[in-house]
Amino acid sequence: MQDQSWLTTEEAAAYVRLKERKLYELVAQGAVPCTKVSGKWLFPRGGLDRWLEAGLARPDGFEPAPPPPIVGGSQDSLLELAIRESGCGLALLAEGSQAGLDRLLRNEVAIAALHLHATPDDDAANLVAIRAEGMLHDAVVINFARREQGLLLAPGNPLGPDGLASAIAQGARFAQRQRGAGAQLLLQSLLERAGVGSGRMVAAEGICATGQDLALAIRNGRADCGIAARAIATAFGLEFLPLVWEHVDLVMRRRTYFEPGPQKLLAWMRSPDMAARAREFGGYDLSLSGTIRLNR
């Protein structure tokens, strides 16, 4: 499929319902977002969306409805604790990263917790996804933490795999997360990087909605292994083979950022309590916690 993030002059004129001549006039005035590459003008679709919205006439009372005070998206042990301990008043709806992003787009949650793996670069995947969403022209991406993800195995590692490829070769049953969950996206990405077809992997029966459910499946013998965070492995007494470090980011709109609830959560993230609890869980790096990674 052709990338539509950047539009030609003809495409941009059609997109904003102007004649090309008028669009060139706006370019000459510096009034429209654009860039010139090899003598040709290109227009960012997201930039055009923001440009149009900036001129939107807003009658009295015409304001976006505030989203419900919910953090959707990825399940994370430290985030769950932060929401409880901070007194932010936010509820948690852990359905997986992509589901959280979809709810944010529909204004059904105030914040989405993400750890996406749609690109080979795990550090950039969340930012790439947000930049691709024209409807999130006012998004703020804040790092919650970096965390260690790996392969969870039964206590004592009875099958003896030393990594993803050997677990597949030995026919280990992999616990599966739902489609769009960050851990499932990571598993698919790791298989592609290793050149291992997903068809060679033995899937355990059923779908695990959260990392805790995945750990329980391994503890109960329904699965032999699965992808989850080190903190989950520690809490359930499972073996852990480290694979990658990933960003868990909080995505919200700028208007949400300044609300009392998110501000309480962000304040707790800067407190010594956050660092102390992260050490107890294990597998967290807070060196970038609270950093604004993207402000559109």
Q: What is the pLDDT of residues 236-269, one digit of tens each?
A: 999 999 999 999 999 999 999 999 999 999 999 9
Q: Looking at the structure, tell me whether residues 124 and 11 fall in a common domain.
A: no
Tokens 């959260």 correspond to 210
More confident residue, 64 or 149: 149
Point out the least confidently predicted range of 62-66, 155-159, 251-255, 278-282: 62-66
More confident residue, 55 or 191: 191
Kindly report the CATH number assigned to the domain that includes residue 240: 3.40.190.290
Q: What is the pLDDT of residues 152-190, one digit of tens each?
A: 999 999 999 998 999 999 999 999 999 999 999 999 999
Q: Looking at the structure, tell me whether residues 48 and 183 fall in a common domain.
A: no
| Cα distance from N-terminal residue to C-terminal residue, the chain | 25
Q: 1 lies in a domain?
A: no
Range of the domain at 295: 65-296
Q: 60 lies in a domain?
A: no
Q: Looking at the structure, tell me whether residues 84 and 23 fall in a common domain.
A: no
Q: Looking at the structure, tell me whether residues 49 and 145 fall in a common domain.
A: no
Backbone angles phi, psi at 248, to 5 degrees: -105, 110
Threshold 0.75, pTM exceeds: yes
Q: Looking at the structure, tell me whether residues 135 and 180 fall in a common domain.
A: yes
Number of domains in the chain: 2
Q: Looking at the structure, tell me whether residues 117 and 244 fall in a common domain.
A: yes
Name the β-bridge partners of 248: 145
Burial grade of 178 (CB within 10 A; 0-12, 13-18, 19 or more): middle
Q: 253 lies in a domain?
A: yes
HSE, CB side, 13 Å, CA atoms: give it for residue 149: 26
Nearest one of 263, 248, 272, 253 to 89, comparing CA atoms? 263
Q: Looking at the structure, tell me whether residues 83 and 49 fall in a common domain.
A: no
Q: 43 lies in a domain?
A: yes
The pLDDT score that the predictor gives to residue 61 is 60
Point out the least confidently predicted range of 33-37, 77-81, 205-209: 33-37
Q: Looking at the structure, tell me whether residues 70 and 40 fall in a common domain.
A: no
Rounded Cα distance, 11 and 241, in Å: 49
Nearest one of 98, 77, 84 to 147, comparing CA atoms? 77
Q: Looking at the structure, tell me whether residues 38 and 160 fall in a common domain.
A: no
pLDDT bracket for residue 45 (50, 70, 90): confident
- Going 148 to 149 to 151 to 155, the CA torsion angle's sign is positive
Q: Is the pLDDT of residue 3 over 60?
A: no
Q: Is the pLDDT of residue 5 over 80?
A: no
DSSP letter (8 states) at residue 258: T
Q: 194 lies in a domain?
A: yes
